[in-house]
A and B are shown apart, each in its own frame.
Chain A
Amino acid sequence: MSYDYLKDGTKFSAEEINDRTEAAAESVNSLDSNALAFGALRHEHLPQLIGPSGFAEGGFTKFVSNKHLPFDGNSFAQAAYEGKRYLPVNVTYPTPISFEDRDIDAFIVLFNANVRSFQEFKDGSYYALNPESNQKNEDFLSVRFTIRVDVEWDDSPFGPGSNLSLELPHTVRAVSPGFTFFGIDNAGAGTVNRKPGSSFWNDTMSFRDAAIRTIIRPKDIVQHVYGDTEDLSLISKIRVRGFGVVVEPKVIHSGPNQVMTGTAGVFVTKSNLTVIPVQAKLVSVGE
C-alpha cells in the first residue's frame, strides 16, 4: 500500500487529500497474489472445505445417515438379509452433485455396521447355524459390504435423467462370523465331528463390526461408467445423486461336508454411513 505523506509546505487542500486517499484506495483495491503473505489467510477469510461449492453457510447439510436399532433389531424384518440387498442407510442429495468446475473433488466415505449373527436361509426361514451339524461357518461364511453410488449420466441409453447404481470394487469389505475355534476332534455322543471351524454354540451372537474407510474420486466413477478410459473430462457428463450400501452374505466354499444346505443369511442391526464431499487437491500414492 502506497501513501505519499504530507510534507512541510504541502498545500493542505482537498485536492492533496483526495489524491492521497484515492491512491491509497487504489492500491488496496487492486491487490495481486504477491500481496498474500505466508499464512495470510485465516479461517475468517476462507470458505468451507467440505460440501459442494456455492452453498451459503449451513446450506449443505447432508452428510450422515445412521440406523438406530436395538442390538437385536426391533423386528426380524429390520435385521435379516439374504442374497444381495440394500441396507437402510442412504445419503441422497436433493440436487445431484457435479464434479465439473471443481464443484467437488472427491467423496470421503465411512461406513460401520453391527453384524449380529450369521444365518442359514432355507425354505423361506432363517436358522441359526448349528455347530453340531458340522457347519464350519467360520471358514466358509462371510458378509460383504459395498458402497453404492447412484449417478445420472448424460450418455445413458435410458436417458440423461435415469439412475445408474455403481458398486465400486475398491469399497468392498467383508467380515466372517469370528467365532472361537472349538478345537476338539472327538466330542462326546450326540455331536458330529466338532472340529476347528465349528462354532462353540449356535451362531446367534457374532457381534462383528464391519468398517469401510474409502475415497471415491472422479476417476473411479468415470472408469466404472465408461470403462477403462483415461479421459477424465467425461466426468462432466456425470452427476452424483447419492450413496448407499449393499449387503451380501456369501458362502465361500461348499463341498461334501458343506457349510449349509440353504443359502447364507445375515442379521445386521446398527449401521452408520457418512459421506463427506470435499474440495481439495487429491494426491494418489502408489498409482
Chain B
Amino acid sequence: MAKITPYTFTDGESGISDELFDLFSGQDGDYFTVINGDLDGDNFVALPDIDYKNIQHNAFSGGGQVAGTAHLDFFAGGVGTPKGSGFFRGANLAVEARYLPVPGASIQFYLPYEAYVLLTWTVTWTNDSDDDTETSNMCFFVDGETVGNDKNPLETAFSRRVGRTMFGGSDATINSANWASATEASLQDRYKSRTWNGHYFTPGTAPLSPGWHTASIRVCAHPAVKQTRVRARSMKYVYFKYGATK
C-alpha cells in the first residue's frame, strides 16, 4: 500500500524529528519516498486501463533466438578409424557428459527478473551408419543439465533419436536374402532425416532465477554410427515475469 497519510504537526510540538524525517525520507512506509518507484494502485483515483505505452519494454516478457542452417557433421570415430578421431569413441548414450551442444541450437540468455521460460527448438538430423539398430540421439539441456524426474538422457521426456537412413542399392543387390548387408551409400528419397520441433516450459514451482542461463540441444551417437549430420536447427526462448497474477 502506497497511499500517503502525512503526520499532522501541532504548534509547539517538540520531539518530532523522527516524524519529520520519515515524512520526506522514510523507507518502507507510507511516506513521500514512494514517488521513487513505489507508487501502486492505491495511489490512483480509479485504476486506469494499462496499455503497451505505459509498460516498460520487456517488463512482462521477453525473448530471443538463435539458428543455423550450415550442415554440421559429427563423426563418431568408432571401429576402423584411428584412435583419437571422431567425437563419440566409446560413448554411452546414457551419459550426459558425452552429449555435445549443437551450434545454432544452443543459447545463453539473460533474465532481468525471476521468470517462467518457454523454450522451443527445431533440429533436423540424419544417422548415416552401417549399423541396423544404433542411433544418433538429441537431448535438451538447461543450465548444463537434462531435465525431468529422471535425468538419464535415455529416460527423460526431452530426448529423441533417429535410426540409420536407408542405404540403397541396385535392384540386383537387394533382396530378402541380403538386404541387411546392402551398404551402397545412396541416401534415398524424401525421408533422410528426422525433425524434432520440441518445447520445454519451466515447472510451475520452479521459475528460473534472474541472471544468465543456458539452453541447448546436444547430440550424441553410438560409436558404431559413422556420421551424424545436423541440418537446420534453432533455439528460441520466451520468458514471462514470475509473480502474483492479481
Residue B54, interface by CB 8 Å: yes
- B205: chain A residues at CB < 8 Å are 58, 61
Partner of B176, one of A51, A62, A191: A191
Docked-complex contact B48 and A33, CB < 8 angstroms:
yes
- B112: chain A residues at CB < 8 Å are 43
Residue B240, interface by CB 8 Å: yes
Q: Mark B202-223, 1 if CB is under 8 A from A, else 0.
A: 0111000000000000000000
| Shortest distance between the CB of B134 and any CB in chain A (Å) | 11
Residue A114, interface by CB 8 Å: yes
Residue A6, interface by CB 8 Å: no
Residue B179, interface by CB 8 Å: yes
The stretch of B74-82, B160-168, B227-235 that contacts the partner chain = B160-168
When C-beta atoms are compared, the residue in chain B nearest to A180 turns out to be B166
Docked-complex contact B162 and A207, CB < 8 angstroms:
yes
Partner of B242, one of A54, A57, A114, A187: A57
Q: Mark B171-192, 1 if CB is under 8 A from A, else 0.
A: 1001111010000000111111
Contacts known (A18-B8, A55-B246, A187-B171); A211 close to B56, Cβ less than 8 A: no
The stretch of B65-73, B95-103, B151-159 that contacts the partner chain = B151-159
Residue B113, interface by CB 8 Å: yes
Query: For the complex, what is the distance from the CA of A250 to the CA of B121, rounded to whole Å?
Result: 28
Interface of B is mostly: loop
Contacts known (A28-B4, A28-B32, A189-B175); A209 close to B198, Cβ less than 8 A: yes
- A271: chain B residues at CB < 8 Å are 157
- B118: chain A residues at CB < 8 Å are 110, 274, 276
Partner of B191, one of A30, A179, A211: A179
Partner of A48, one of B57, B176, B198, B240: B240
Query: For the complex, what is the distance from the CA of A132 to the CA of B240, rounded to whole Å?
Result: 52
| Shortest distance between the CB of A217 and any CB in chain B (Å) | 19
Docked-complex contact B39 and A31, CB < 8 angstroms:
yes
Docked-complex contact B165 and A112, CB < 8 angstroms:
no
Query: For the complex, what is the distance from the CA of A28 to the CA of B1, rounded to whole Å?
Result: 13
- A2: chain B residues at CB < 8 Å are none
- A201: chain B residues at CB < 8 Å are 132, 179
Residue B21, interface by CB 8 Å: no
Docked-complex contact B45 and A32, CB < 8 angstroms:
yes
- A112: chain B residues at CB < 8 Å are 196-199
Interface size in chain A (residues, C-beta < 8 A): 85
Docked-complex contact A71 and B154, CB < 8 angstroms:
yes
Query: For the complex, what is the distance from the CA of A276 to the CA of B61, rounded to whole Å?
Result: 14
- B34: chain A residues at CB < 8 Å are 28
When C-beta atoms are compared, the residue in chain A nearest to B188 turns out to be A180
Docked-complex contact B9 and A18, CB < 8 angstroms:
yes
Residue A282, interface by CB 8 Å: no
Residue of A42, A62, A189 ringed by the most chain B CB atoms within 10 A: A42
Residue A285, interface by CB 8 Å: no
Docked-complex contact B56 and A209, CB < 8 angstroms:
no
Docked-complex contact B44 and A49, CB < 8 angstroms:
no
| Shortest distance between the CB of A186 and any CB in chain B (Å) | 6
Residue B49, interface by CB 8 Å: yes
| Shortest distance between the CB of A202 and any CB in chain B (Å) | 11
| Shortest distance between the CB of B62 and any CB in chain A (Å) | 10
Partner of A69, one of B55, B155, B176: B155
Docked-complex contact B57 and A39, CB < 8 angstroms:
yes
Query: For the complex, what is the distance from the CA of A180 to the CA of B61, rounded to whole Å?
Result: 42
Docked-complex contact A56 and B48, CB < 8 angstroms:
no
- Nearest first, the 3 A-B pairs at minimum CB distance are A188-B175, A61-B204, A33-B48
Given A36-B48, A112-B198, A272-B198; 10 other pairs, CB 8 A cutoff: A32-B44, A48-B240, A50-B240, A54-B245, A58-B205, A63-B116, A180-B166, A182-B188, A184-B174, A207-B160
Q: Jot down 24 A-B pairs with beta carbons below 8 A, ordered by A.
A: A14-B8, A14-B11, A32-B45, A33-B48, A39-B55, A41-B59, A43-B59, A46-B60, A46-B243, A48-B241, A49-B241, A63-B201, A64-B203, A66-B158, A70-B155, A112-B198, A180-B192, A188-B174, A207-B160, A207-B161, A209-B197, A211-B198, A270-B156, A274-B118
